[in-house]
Structure 1
Amino acid sequence: MHNVWIVFLLAALATALAQDTVSSSNPCSAFKTCGDCITGNPSCAWCTQDGFEGQGSRCDTLNNLKSKECSDEFITNPSTKFMVDKADPLSSGSVGVQDEAVQVYPQEVTLTVRPHKPYTMTMEYRQAMDYPVDLYYLMDLSNSMEDDKSQLAALGDILAAKMQSITKNFRLGFGSFVDKTVMPYVSTVPAKLNAPCDGCAAPYSFKHHLDLTTNTKLFSAKVTETPVSGNLDSPEGGMDALMQAIVCEDAIGWRKVARHLVIFSTDASFHYAGDGKLGGIVKPNDGVCHMRNNEYTMATELDYPSISQLIRVVKEKSINLIFAVTENTFGVYDELSALIHGSTAGVLANDSSNIVDLVQENYDKIRSEVLLSDNATEGITVKYHSSCLGNEVEETNKCMGMKVGDTVTFNVTITVDSCPENGEQTLVIKPVNINEELRIRLRVECECDCESSGVLDSPRCNGTGTYECGICDCPPGFKGRQCECDAKQYTGDASEDSCKLNPNDTSAQTCFGRGECVCGVCECYEREKPGERVWGEVCQCDNFSCGNYKLAICGGTGRGECDCGKCVCKPEYKGDRCQCPSSEQSCMADNGLICAGHGKCDCGRCLCDADSLYRGPLCEDCPTCAGQCEDNRDCVQCVMWGTGIYDTKELCDANCANKTIIPEDEVYEDAEAGVRKCQFKDTDGCTFYFTYEYNKTIDTQPESDVVIIRAQKTKHCPPPVPLAAIIAGVVGGIVAVGLALLIIWKLLTMIHDRREFAKFEKERQNAKWDTGENPIYKQATSTFKNPTYWYNSNSIKLPKH
């Protein structure tokens, strides 16, 4: 019994602590200035009304301030403001009108928010038809690529026609590369520097041959007239060329609003940052355009660019890369494309004959995907949600499988976690590798307007402080709401001793952690939950930390009230939580005795004697008797299966409404826990099971629900008679017996025949024949004896006939 009460007390204490944690001090009351109030919590507002101090904290929730009669004109509660500045509708492009295509909506907005208050806006993206495409073909023109060059020249018109079938707003450009013109990349022998091979041009790092143009005939001509060159080592200087082709926007002719596509074609791997040291080049690549007369001029002075540099410029310049490489180098460029978003790699035929199909296939991969990125800095969180082309919304900034004309909507949630230094910044959200974006002018409310119009040395602040937003901002040396306290008198730990219940306890919090010590006096915080309050000299009292009974403090207003952490019960109830009735009437048994004389009444419930066999709500029931099984049998039948004497719903409801029957998959008996198992046969001949036990829980169940019945959902039924199996068995048995008799008869006859044959064989083998005489021959003479005459030695021989 004592253990039970200990558990109850611990549960009550845990409930009280949990409630105190959840309903802690008003989160707004801790903020003492208007600026801190509006930036500390988005649910807080500030009241600037004169004389409001007596109503509580000026920083509170909007509803609380209004309930304390703070006029709307004096409430500072900045709201979120959203304004669309530019919203050109989504549209497709047209030839010659490069700015007409719009794939991102809207384009510019202004958003004013408070810290920690999320705001969600929508952003749309649609693949425009005939969107401008600038395709720059960057080709390795070392000697090994000569057959590829001639094939590309022949396929130039086909490539242009294929791209124009995708978009009519298409331009094509051409450039080539070999390697740095120093040892060990190329031979520096003067003759080799002029012509490294027969019919070859002098080696170079990168040359731009054709600006982006719609004249495909000019493309084929440029490719045809450009000679190949040669170098020594296998890796080429393609990364130098790629960097210049991307960053030299004016020289190449990249349009601002267009999809920028670079086809990088080679049959060899590439040099990267650090390889320049082999040629004595140690200065890192600067990622800047160095073109003069359409040729890269710093190849012998700057190292090759690093992979990270390429990733950066590809993202900044919105470039889509297609690595069209031969099979022997595909693995290297496939890994490289995995690092650069918006790039793919494909296997190029030995003579580049599949370049058209390769470009179309990889371009379709690139444009079928949209990935949003942003420039959010620390302190700003941006989250994206979209259903893409499906139905279920999920957190994602990426959609795949898009086709021309498909539109996807993103819900963009922006949360500012801290105030920026200048209070405003520009947030850019854009699809990766596309030169369109959403620009958000983000303004953060970090100050109140009233803070900039304060009255210096105001009489309301004893002539020493600044009166702003309804409060005094005290200068150094003064404290208090009206700067009335000399700070020298309230410095150090001694100034807070008067705000502690026990000044000698150094670990104790001032004002119990539920108030502020102002000039040696505790000012208790207000509670966020209505009806809760804190009071006392050091805020030690409250009306919410008492124990709970039936999910209510002190059992609710009908049982008692919480006063300074203790329950004050009404006369009808008692206990530390007012959980017990004062009288013992509920323990009176039918025999007129408390608990039938087999126990004692505790908190309105009978506690049966441990050494007694009697149990039940009033210690009247003998658990070894069948009474409860029989008493509950009919109700279990009707509730679970609609059978028994209460087989109709009306009878069942009328006779079993006061019984709680819980269906279970299976029930078990537990004698030690007081769980008794019962079993009966139902009208269908099946056996059903149920258990009953007495409810010992005081707090969570009503007093009338004292017996818990758990019925097993399934009944145990005898298996049905298998008539078909029996008939089949009988017939089968007869047939089997007949076959067995036939088999036995056959076996016996076979055994008999075998024995007779064996006997015959034995006799035949034992017979001795005269091989010189016919065994069936019989002589013509006969010999006989006359019994009248006794001639033993004579015989009469008849003549032969």
Structure 2
Amino acid sequence: MDFCQVFFLLLVMARGGLFQQTQVCSKTVVNTCSDCIRSGPFCVWCKQLNFTNTEKDEVTRCDTRDKLTEKGCDQNEIIFPVNSQSIVKENPLSESFEQQEPVQLSPQEISLKLRPGIAETFTVSFKRVQGYPVDLYYLMDLSNSMKDDLDNVKGLGKDLLTALNSITQHAQIGFGAFVDKTVLPYTNTNEKKLQRPCDDDSQQCQAVFGYRHVLNMTASEGEFKRKVTEQFISGNLDSPEGSLDAMMQAAVCEDMIGWRNSSTRLIVLTTDAGFHMAGDGKLAGILEPNDEQCHLSRNLYTKSTLMDYPSVGQLAMQLEKKNIQPIFAVTEEVVGVYEQLSKMIPKSEVGVLSKDSKNVVQLIQSAYNRLSSKVTLTHESLPNNVRVVYTPRCDYAGSAGENEGVCDNVREGQKIFFDVSVTADSCIKNTSFTIRALGIKDTLTVTLSSNCECECKDTDSSAHSHCNFQGRVNCGTCSCNDGFVGQFCNCSVGKKDESSLRALCKGESGVECEGRGDCVCGRCNCHQIEGKRSYYGKFCQCDDGHCEKFQNKLCGGHGRCKCGKCECDDGYEGSACHCKVSEDGCFKFNNTVCYGRGKCKCNRCKCLEGYQPPHCKTCLGCPNTCLTKLACIECLSFQSGPFAVAKNCSAACINMTVTMVDQFTTSNKECNQRDSEGCRIKFQLFQLVGEDSYRAEVLKVKECPEPPNIVAIIGASIAAVALIGLLFLILIKLIFYMKDLKQWKEFEKEKKKSVWTKADNPLFLDATTTVTNPTFTGE
């Protein structure tokens, strides 16, 4: 590297501010020179052969310049891509308006090739052209309250053009008027009121309208006066007007208004009322958003009743896009509203209009001087991961900023400069953005590309001895032929086996050697830093530099970092060795700490599950001890229960002692449980030191139920059976009785229906012989 190259490199580093920062190369996964360059702005690559060996991985080629030099890399073998710039188009600034397309901003096109993280600075110059054309569009509120103002404006043509001609010989003026949307609740929609909205019958009045373009841009004073004289006051209902509708159409209808390509474009809005904005159209049932398109037909805005008002953001974007600078000439009552609006619209001014608009010429002239003397350099939307900082160089310069640069009190013919610094935070593809001065047509197109590749210019493309004649050298490293792998292509594998060989270098994460080493013949060769092996383990998963810190010290300064975990010195403990070994803060009871239900860590009790700090004395969410200890209570107190049957009472209840009492000695919680024999046992439990150690006080007498009376039960059973049998018989008898009664009633019913005749029976014959007993006396 010759002296000129070194000098250029130092110049680039100084302009990028690299000397003011600590130079660190933070490497992650680095296998090639391009990987190194992408790792950070201070990373450089050593392409020197034999710079590495089997004890030094290829990643050691990537570091800062100073560290590579310390490791023995020749300065001439260090690769450090730098920023570059080339001016594609640079027309000189115009001295005056003598040509059709004067130049006020230079250069017009520049190409940058950026190293990620390093700023590239170039200079933009600007000069206001003397006599630059001015197009002024006078946009007037013609609601009834502006009657006096209209009368004065009709005679302003000469004064306005005189004022503009004092600025430039190429001045033009146009005229437009607005009221509001011709629908309720903004306007009275009665047919007569639509045609004549004025209350005074003697007053000349025109039909209501939203926005009307009256006069194209002209340099004729007479034409302006004639067209304005034809205008009359109209009217509406509410106070806010359709100002934003009118400004939007005046901005986007360029051809119909007559805006010139090379001119300073001004819209002068005069009104004494506020304005409707996006969303207000809902009051009239107008829901379609403003589309920011031109809708003028026969000089009238045709979408006034069909499309909502534009938002302030939409209007500001179109005004900036069309290079139009608005001047709000408003009455004192609403000046505060328009000052807030001006803050949201770049390159705009507000002036206080007198009651009758007599001061409008002076107001416009003052506002124009303020607008034209303030130069604001800014950009349109930037590509992702690109930053721009503007540093103005002028007599009255604002501070450097990322969004814009500002110079104030700039005179005609005065040349000013802006230093523009562009930084790409990552590698980007070919892209571009535009820089412009607000209100000026001239633009600067900045084309960007990345400088993320290494141009090593390796002359020998054949097999190289450095690669065991099984590969070629690329930026100092070996690019192996098919079937060979390894740092020096010294590992021969079949094409089919290479993927399985690399699979042996992948751990649980699936990343080869965890991104911290090179897979050489199926084994991880871990990366080193500063000559010491910083990663180790089968998959390079361990390192001794990423353990927990305390007070910004690794392992609190009282331990060693081992594979991501701290091994503390004697007398220290904790995940970061941040506390001394001590039990002073852990409550002691019967020569135990934490009631035997936890461990003392960092001088605090770390309790078993359920037991509560600070001393692990109580347990929340633990099982019901009255129920769980019942079997031991029954066994130890009354030699009954499941443990007594299995004859393992002492073994099962080794951590419990029982005392039989006539009554409880304390008011502790009382347990009342039913044992295996159905008797109720009353006892109290006292937890001793330890997780499952208890002392119990048990009442000597169990509450058992009285045995059943067998005789009474049998007698009652027999009586119940007899009673049931008797009831059964009565039921059967009742059923038969009801059946017989039903049949008798049916017989009686049929009997009543029978008819008996008194005629003689034809089968009966009278006696033919009568015999008298002589002995019968008749008594």
Same-fold call, TM cutoff 0.5: yes
**Which residue does the alignment assign to 1:351?**
356
What is the CA distance between 1:156 and its match in structure 2? 1.2
1:399 to 2:399 alignment: no
2:506 is the alignment partner of 1:491 = yes
Alpha-carbon distance change, 80 to 491 in structure 1, aligned in 2, over 3 angstroms: closer
1:154 alignment partner, SS class: coil
How big is each residue's C-alpha offset from its partner over 1:153-194, in whole Å with a ceiling of 9 and x where there is no partner?
211111111111112222111111111122222222222222
Determine which of 84, 103, 120 is the counterpart of 1:81: 84
- RMSD over aligned CA atoms reads 4.3
Q: 1:194 to 1:120 in 2, by over 3 A?
A: same
2: CA distance, partners of 1:492 / 1:133: 72
CA distance in 1, matches of 2:458, 2:221: 65
- For 2:485 and 2:49, the matched residues in 1 are separated by 19
> Which residue of structure 1 aligns with residue 101 of structure 2?
99
SS at match of 1:179: coil
Amino acid at match of 2:420: V
Does structure 1 residue 275 correspond to structure 2 residue 272?
Answer: no
* C-alpha contact 2:397 2:408 (8 A) present in aligned 1: no
Question: Which residue of 1 is the match for residue 233 of structure 2?
Answer: 228
Q: Distance in 2 between matches of 1:398 and 1:274?
A: 34
Checking the alignment, whether the CA contact within 8 Å between 2:117 and 2:424 is kept in structure 1 is yes
- Please give the alpha-carbon distance, in whole angstroms, between the structure 1 residues aligned to 2:490 and 2:306: 70
Bigger drift between 392-401 and 190-199 goes to: 392-401
Aligned equivalents of 1:447, 1:354: Cα separation in 2: 64
Match of 2:425 in 1: 417
1:439 is aligned to 2:442: no
Alpha carbons of structure 1 residues 282 and 119: separation in structure 2 relative to 1, 3 Å? same
Change beyond 3 A, Cα 1:23–1:212: closer
Counterpart of 1:388 in structure 2 is 394
Shift of 1:75: 6.3
Q: Distance in 2 between matches of 1:175 and 1:368?
A: 27
- Is contact 2:518-2:525 (8 Å) kept? yes
Deviation sequence 1:316-337 (CA, Å, 0-9, x none)? 2222111111222222212211
Task: Name the aligned partner's letter for residue 412 of structure 2.
Answer: V
**Contact 2:328 2:338 (C-alpha < 8 Å) held by counterparts:** yes
Which position in structure 2 is the counterpart of 1:41?
Answer: 40
Q: How far off its partner does 1:120 sit?
A: 1.3
2:216 is matched with 211
Shift in CA distance, 535/271, structure 1 to aligned 2, threshold 3 Å:
closer
Aligned to 1:135: 136
Q: In the alignment, which residue of structure 1 is the partner of 2:111?
A: 110
Kept in 2, the 8 Å contact 1:40–1:115? The answer is no
SS of structure 1 residue aligned to 2:255: helix
Q: Where does 1:748-767 land on structure 2 (aligned, <5 Å)?
A: none
| 1:466 positional shift | 9.9
Tell me: CA distance 1:401–1:332, structure 2 relative to 1, closer, same or farther (3 Å). Answer: same
Question: Could you tell me whether the CA contact under 8 Å between 1:281 and 1:302 is conserved in 2?
Answer: yes
> Counterpart in 2 of 1:243?
248
1:654-702 CA distance string (max 9 Å, x none): xxxxxxxxxxxxxxxxxxxxxxxxxxxxxxxxxxxxxxxxxxxxxxxxx
CA distance in 2, matches of 1:190, 1:538: 90
Task: Supply the distance in 2 between the matched residues of 1:272 and 1:53 (Cα, whole angstroms).
Answer: 69
Superposed, 1:280-291 pairs within 5 Å as 280-291=285-296
Question: How much does 1:218 deviate?
Answer: 1.2
Shift in Å at residue 407 of structure 1? 2.7
TM-score (norm 2): 0.57
Distance 1:208 1:29, change over 3 A: closer
CA distance in 2, matches of 1:132, 1:175: 20
Q: Take 2:316 and 2:459, find their aligned partners in 1: how far apart are those partners?
A: 50
1:517 Cα offset (Å):
7.4
Amino acid at match of 1:87: E
Contact 2:505 2:524 in 1 (8 A): no
Does structure 2 conserve the Cα–Cα contact (< 8 Å) formed by 1:26 and 1:526?
no
CA deviation profile, 1:51-96 (whole Å, cap 9, x unmatched): 6644864435567778957796x8654332211122222224427x
- Alpha-carbon distance between aligned partners in 2 of 1:191 and 1:452, rounded to the nearest angstrom: 89
Q: 1:214 deviation in Å?
A: 1.8
- Write the distance in 1 (CA, Å) between the matches of 2:333 and 2:128: 35
Shift of 1:143: 2.7
What letter is aligned with 2:298?
N
Q: CA deviation at 1:283?
A: 0.8
1:260 aligns with 2:280: no
Question: Is residue 368 from structure 1 mapped to residue 373 from structure 2 by the alignment?
Answer: yes
Quick one: which amino acid aligns to residue 381 of structure 1? R
Residue of structure 2 in register with 1:192 after alignment: 193
With 75-84 and 374-383 compared, the bigger mean Cα shift is at 75-84
- Shift of the 24–116 alpha-carbon distance from structure 1 to 2, 3 Å rule, reads closer
What is the aligned-residue identity percentage? 39
1-side partners of 2:25 and 2:336: how far apart? 62
Q: Which moved more, 1:377-386 or 1:243-252?
A: 377-386
Distance 1:464 1:182, change over 3 A: farther
Q: 1:476 and 1:172, CA in 2 relative to 1: closer, same or farther beyond 3 A? A: farther
Contact 1:48/1:76 (CA < 8 Å) preserved in 2? yes
Change in CA separation of 1:373 and 1:306 when aligned onto 2, cut-off 3 Å? same
Cα 1:126–1:483 shift into 2, 3 Å: farther
Question: How much has 1:419 moved relative to structure 2?
Answer: 1.8
Shift of 1:356: 0.4
- Residue 435 of structure 2: aligned partner: 429
Shift of 1:272: 1.2
The residue identity in structure 2 corresponding to 1:205 is G
Evaluate the alpha carbon distance shift between residue 496 and residue 314 of structure 1 in structure 2; reply closer, same or farther with a 3 A threshold. closer
Distance 1:235 1:24 in 2: 60
Write the letter of the residue equivalent to 2:444.
L
Give, in whole Å, the separation in 2 of the partners of 1:537 and 1:324. Answer: 72
- Asked if 1 retains the 8 angstrom alpha-carbon contact of 2:122 and 2:421, the reply is yes
Candidates 299, 321, 331, aligned match of 1:316? 321
Does structure 2 retain, via aligned residues, the 8 Å contact 1:380–1:416?
yes
Structure 2 contact 136–265 (Cα < 8 Å) conserved: yes
Q: Give the secondary-structure state (helix, strand or coil) at the position aligned to 1:250.
A: helix
Partner letter of residue 236 of structure 1? E
Aligned AA (2:415)? T
Give, as a single letter, the amino acid of the residue that structure 2 aligns with 1:424: N
CA offset at residue 229 of structure 1? 1.9
Q: Which runs of 5+ in 2 are unaligned?
A: 1-20, 492-497, 541-779
Q: Residue 339 of structure 2 corresponds to which residue in structure 1?
A: 334
**C-alpha distance in 1 between matches for 2:303 and 2:369:** 36
Cα 1:404–1:191 change in 2 (3 A) is same
How far apart, CA to CA, are the structure 2 residues paired with 1:149 and 1:25?
70
Structure 1 counterpart SS, 2:94: coil
Range moving further from structure 2, 46-55 or 194-203: 46-55
Whole-Å separation in 1 of the counterparts to 2:205 and 2:321: 36
Q: Shift of the alpha carbon at 1:402?
A: 2.3
| Matching residue's letter, 1:181 | T
Contact 1:29/1:525, CA 8 A, preserved across alignment: no
Look up the SS of the partner of 1:111 in the other structure. Answer: strand
The one-letter code sitting in structure 2 at the alignment partner of 1:439 is T
Q: Indicate if the aligned counterparts of 1:32 and 1:59 stay in contact, CA closer than 8 A.
A: no
Using the alignment, how far apart are the partners of 1:140 and 1:46 within structure 2? 69
1:453 and 1:154 map into 2 onto residues whose CA distance is 82
Q: How many matched pairs? A: 500
CA contact (8 A) 1:369 1:400 kept: yes
Could you tell me whether the CA contact under 8 Å between 1:34 and 1:451 is conserved in 2?
A: no
Deviations 1:602-651 (A, max 9, x none): xxxxxxxxxxxxxxxxxxxxxxxxxxxxxxxxxxxxxxxxxxxxxxxxxx
SS of corresponding position for 1:284: coil
**Which secondary structure does the structure 1 equivalent of 2:335 belong to?**
helix
**Distance across 2 between alignment mates of 1:164 and 1:239:** 29
Contact 1:466 1:472 in 2 (8 A): yes
Alignment partner for residue 59 of structure 1, among 52, 59, 62?
62
**1:240 deviation in Å?**
0.6
Tell me the CA shift for residue 469 of structure 1: 4.9
